[in-house]
Amino acid sequence: MVTGPRAFLARWTTVTPVVAVVLLVLTWGRSLPGVVVALLTIVLAASVLAAVHHAEVVAHRVGEPFGSLVLAIAVTVIEVALIVTLMADGGDKSATLARDTVFAAVMITCNGVVGLSLLVASLRHGIAVFNPEGTGAALATVATLATLSLVLPTFTTSAPGPEFSTVQLTFAALSSLVLYGLFIATLTVRHRDYFLPITRQGEVITSEEHADAPSSRTALTSLGMLGLALIGVVGLAKGVSPTIESVVAAAGLHHAVVGVVIALLVLLPETIAAVRSARRDRVQTSLNLALGSAMASIGLTIPAVALASVWLSGPLVLGLSSIHMVLLALTVVVASLTVVPGRATPLQGGVHLVLFAAYLELAVNP
């Protein structure tokens, strides 16, 4: 029987997701006092750490790049469910909810997570190394999905405002699914070696040698606990969102800040997992997490909201503002220059983090 710190870690990471889901059921749709919000915030933070632990167990069992794919898809599926739930509540603010959430996810992952991972790896190991072939393919897919889904609606004329017509929205949804499906096939079947971590000599690392892989039973248990933890993270984030909205309104900030805060909370598990991988000099795993999350956020959200728009009332605004289009274009250009060499210094990480800081600053002061 396992005892000591490992046994304690296994216990609390198993109990926490269950507690989070129970609290979620008890508090869903209710007006919460400050003490309860504080408790939910603590459980939310613990659920994030539990999710990271279980994601790493699953990743260790199935290996890369499947491990990072599991976490990215799990987070995005629950995030999409949250978006559709909030849109069903109605109101004028729900019209831009999908756009704001998806764009926030893209900026957080492609600048925040990528920049932090490159900075941590390069400061700790001298230089960050990764496979430019796989990373470049992922970046190209993210850029195409973002442009088709978030930029084109601003310029189309079939519907008033930055919206798609029904035919255009259907095309965008189908294109998102096709591109995401092609990426998954490339990642897991055709060119899996493009997305595996590499050594500084350019050799592919096919397995981790520092520890034995967990058993199938342990991995399946962690997979279930990962799902519960992510449900808790997203659901509790929604529960504390009214308090966040009140604080944002009292501070006189733009309402888009609420979406940024929620997106930051939801993407915390992937951020922590990516930084941990970067510290172990597995930068490719970090980039798989970041770009995979951005891709899943667009590739799954757009088809979901397109389907939901059939029965949801009100407009669906997807087109970005001119400021956000400039930030997206600059992100794609900078990320391309970062990916091409297959190596990065603290400078590249710093550039991405500055872009992320610019996005946050403009969210506060548009």
* Tens digit of each residue's pLDDT (9 = 90 or more) over 337-357: 999 999 999 999 999 999 999
Measured from the Cβ of residue 169, the count of other Cβ atoms closer than 10 Å reads: 22
What pLDDT is stored for residue 327 in this prediction? 96
Q: What span, in angstroms and rounded, lies between the C-alpha atoms of 342 and 365?
A: 35
Task: Please confirm whether the linkage preceding 153 is cis (ω < 30° from 0).
Answer: no
HSE-CB for 118 with a 13 A CA cutoff = 25
* Tens digit of each residue's pLDDT (9 = 90 or more) over 36-48: 888 888 888 788 7
Average pLDDT over residues 45-65: 75
Sign of CA dihedral 248, 252, 256, 257: negative
What pLDDT is stored for residue 255 in this prediction? 67
101-105, 121-125, 335-339, 343-347, range with the lowest pLDDT: 101-105
Average pLDDT over residues 150-163: 88
Q: Does residue 238 surpass a pLDDT of 60?
A: yes
Residues with Cβ within 8 Å of residue 18, at least 6 apart in sequence:
228
Torsion of CA 184, 189, 194, 200, to 10 degrees: 120
5-364, what's its fold?
Answer: A middle domain of Talin 1 (1.20.1420)
Q: Does residue 326 surpass a pLDDT of 90?
A: yes
Decide which of 352 and 81 is more confident: 352
What are 1's two structure tokens? 């029987």
What pLDDT is stored for residue 335 in this prediction? 95
Alpha-carbon distances of 307 from 11, 35, 91, 107, 336, rounded to whole Å: 40, 38, 19, 25, 33
Residues with Cβ within 8 Å of residue 124, at least 6 apart in sequence:
278, 279, 281
What pLDDT is stored for residue 68 in this prediction? 65
What pLDDT is stored for residue 93 in this prediction? 63
Helix axes 283-308, 114-125, angle to 10 degrees: 170
HSE-CB for 88 with a 13 A CA cutoff = 10
Q: Does residue 333 surpass a pLDDT of 90?
A: yes
What pLDDT is stored for residue 64 in this prediction? 61
Average pLDDT over residues 121-125: 92
Q: Does residue 89 surpass a pLDDT of 70?
A: no
Decide which of 116 and 160 is more confident: 116
CA neighbor of 348 nearest in space, from 302, 287, 298: 287
Q: Does residue 331 surpass a pLDDT of 90?
A: yes
Q: Does residue 1 surpass a pLDDT of 50?
A: no
pTM assigned to the model: 0.81
Confidence of residue 111 (pLDDT cuts 50, 70, 90): very high
Q: pLDDT averaged over the chain?
A: 82
Confidence of residue 209 (pLDDT cuts 50, 70, 90): very low
Q: Does residue 211 surpass a pLDDT of 50?
A: yes
